[in-house]
Each structure stands twice: as structure tokens, then as C-alpha cells.
Amino acid sequence: MKRSRGIVIAIACVVPIVAFAFLSGKAGSLLATLSRLLREMASTLLALGALLLARAAWLWRRAAAVAGWPTVAGTVTEARVDSRRHQIALTTYRDAGARFYQAKISYAYEVQGRRFQGHDVQVASGTAERDRRQAEIVVARYAVGQTVQVHYNPQRPSDSLLEPGLGPLWPQAIIVAGVLISAGLLGWLLEGRG
């Protein structure tokens, strides 16, 4: 979550600087370089923003559909915090080798005499975080052996989750998509005036 916030903040800082430089006509070499980069990447930024926005819309529709899914009792079979190291830098050079944590929840349930195993807690909730406490909060809600309500897709009973609604990534996806689309549009404006 902190990584995504950092990316959003960085992008949100660059766009106004480039806009100010363009509108004031007093762009220094750094601002001119940023402006040129933004012009050159306008289409890419728009495409990435549109893809991210489409993904967020799909997640929202899925979350709305889950609210109408039937439920069945299930049993938690695994609840642990998974830890791993990233080999590549995701946002900064310090990310290479950084430890990330993810809640791993598994549960068993039965629909019409068929047994299934599920792993999803919420729509868009399976991300790894640098803060172990976030994963521990999720794991604390689900003790092994605990009976839980499982929401399952009536057309495909193997498709299931425990909590209807959207996970923490959805609002971040909307924000990042908006920033990318705004940066892309600004790039197109700069291209038209440059």
C-alpha cells in the first residue's frame, strides 16, 4: 500500500510541475525535459490509465455480483502470513531484496455434494505488503478450523470468496488510473502546443 502511495505521490507531483512550467513559459532544463518526456509518453500513459480504469471497473462489477451470490458454510484450513523477498526493484533500488508479506487464507466448502478449496478473501485483496502487520490483521480474522460463510458463484462453484466487497486496491487503482490519464492528456496538450 505504501509503495502504491509513493508512486501516486510521485506522479501527482510531476504533473503539476510540468503544467506550471508550460503555462508560465519559464521552464528550466529539468522542466523542459519532463515536458518533453510527458509529450513523448502521452499515448502510453493514456493506454495504461485506460487499462487500469477498465480493470477497476471489472473489479467493481465483480464485487457487485458477489453480493448476490449464495453462501455456504466452510472451514478455514490454512491461515498464515507468507513472506518472500523481491529480487527486482519495484519502485526504488531499496526494493531489491526487500521482504514482502501476504495473508494466505485457504478454506474448504461443499456445494451440491462437491468439495472445493478457496483462497480469496475479498475481490482485489491478494497483494503483498512491506508491512507485516497488514497481513497479520487479515490472518487474525481467520483461525484454522473456524467455520466461515463462503460466497460462491452459482454458475462456477469453484469461484468463491469470504468477504463481499472490494479489497484495499480498488481505490488506489482508480487514483493511479486518473493520474495516468491526466498526465497523458496533459502530454497531448503539450504536444499540440509544442
Which range is least confidently modeled, 135-139, 147-151, 172-176? 172-176
Counted domains in the chain? 2
Q: What angle do CA 176, 180, 184 make, to 5 degrees?
A: 170
Under the banding of pLDDT at 50, 70 and 90, the label for residue 78 is: very high
Question: Domain residues for 48?
Answer: 2-65+172-193
CA–CA gap between residue 90 and residue 140 (Å, rounded) = 28
Same domain for 72 and 160, yes or no, is yes
Same domain for 114 and 183, yes or no, is no
Q: What is the pLDDT of residues 167-180, one digit of tens each?
A: 666 677 788 888 88
> In sequence order, which ranges of the chain are alpha helices (DSSP H)?
2-24, 29-40, 42-66, 132-140, 169-193
Same domain for 75 and 158, yes or no, is yes
Residues near 1 by beta carbon (within 8 Å), at least 6 away in sequence:
127, 129, 131, 134, 168, 172
Same domain for 75 and 159, yes or no, is yes
pTM of the model: 0.65
